[in-house]
Amino acid sequence: MKTYKFAILPSALLLCGTAHAFAPHTYANSITAHNIAALQHSITSTAIQSFDGSISLALPHRQYTSGAPTISKNTSDQYGRAPMYGTMSIYGEYNDDSRAGRNGGDTINADAALNSIWFNWQHLGDDINFNNFENLESDFNTFTMGLAGGRAKMGNGISEWGIYVGYAGGDHENNNIKINSHGGYFGVYNGFDWDRFSISTTINGGAFSNSADTLFGTDDYSNFWVGGAINAKYDIILDSQTALRPELHAGYTWIQSEDYTSASGAIIDNDAFSMFELTPGLRLIRHIGADWYGSLNAKYVVFFANGGDMVVNNIKAPELNETNFFEYSITIEKSVYNLNISGNIGRHEGPRDGWIGGLNIKYIF
């Protein structure tokens, strides 16, 4: 069992009646609020990417088409010659991914009530460096399941809706404190595609239950949040097998935290906390071969915080600040019939520093 110990406090502070006013354990809720904002970056990005579909769609031979298929003048070329029939079907040829295929699946199936169901797991293992605070080891997992509605034509583009639910849980830990947090979230999604340009939006909300173990005992408190994000991206075709995708992700999360009295007797009042996110990104997407696809991904995550004041024993405490960080990752993807599987591994670099990774499984109806 890990032992938690505090640095020796100056005797003057111990005599003034606010001995634990700014001790590390009083920052437990502030740490959790910052973590929720970082998790929201992962949750909203993952949901949007999962609903948007395969990275292979950035390439010319996998683009959406919304018009009627062009029938060959010699119909035997299209319908009657080997290997058209008598061979194993391939993913996409019978409109199983809403793309062009042998059966004339170029058109959108407006009658389809559902398009796909997906499951995503992400792991975030970071060292977090707040200003004037001992580094924290963070170890979190998110598990998300989503259901996408049928695609429909919208002018010259295509729209899709979706819903998702998820669970997040993990720990923050250093020599002074160990915080265990777990909870759930629910969100809705809407996306629009116009040729190579797309805009996706999501709104979600969730709640966390937390317990912080310290030298003084255990503090229990809770948080809930609501937020949303919008993502815009454009696919630049470099050649038939390669595409470059610049994108911009913007998000907002409002976090309400519980006031509580700590095990040390400190009365902790927490104001609502708002976090704005602006994340430019770039993806290089490539068909590796044999229907394997990959991408190299780079993002710069920028946070702007507002509010979140913490008052301990009627004294306002200095704020925790976490600056921006880079996110690099590699994604590998494969489709087998109606099943799409992708995995990712990457790193955070900066004040939030560590390894990230995950898995996405999607079934297309």
| Helix, coil or strand: residue 113 | coil
CATH code, domain carrying 309: 2.40.128.130
Q: Is residue 5 part of a domain?
A: no
| Helix, coil or strand: residue 107 | coil
Q: Is residue 95 part of a domain?
A: no
- Say if residues 268 and 52 touch (Cβ distance below 8 Å): no
Residue 58 clears pLDDT 60, i.e. is over it? yes
Considering only residues 145 and 107, tell me which one the structure prediction assigns the higher pLDDT: 145
Considering only residues 323 and 270, tell me which one the structure prediction assigns the higher pLDDT: 270
SS (H, E, C) 224-292: EEEEEEEEEEECEEEECCEEEEEEEEEEEEEEEECCEECCCCCEEEECCEEEEEEEEEEEEEEEEECCE
Q: Is residue 228 part of a domain?
A: yes
Q: Is residue 319 part of a domain?
A: yes
**pLDDT tens track for 178-223:** 999 999 999 999 999 998 899 999 999 999 999 999 999 999 999 9
**pLDDT tens track for 116-134:** 999 999 999 999 998 878 8
For 308-338, strand residue ranges (E) read 310-312, 315-316, 325-336
Q: What band does 112 get if pLDDT is binned at 50, 70 and 90?
A: low
Predicted TM-score of the model (pTM):
0.82
Three-point CA angle 193, 195, 197, nearest 5°: 60
Domain range enclosing 296: 21-66+108-364
Count of structural domains within the chain: 1
Q: Is residue 209 part of a domain?
A: yes
- Say if residues 194 and 231 touch (Cβ distance below 8 Å): no
Q: Is residue 79 part of a domain?
A: no
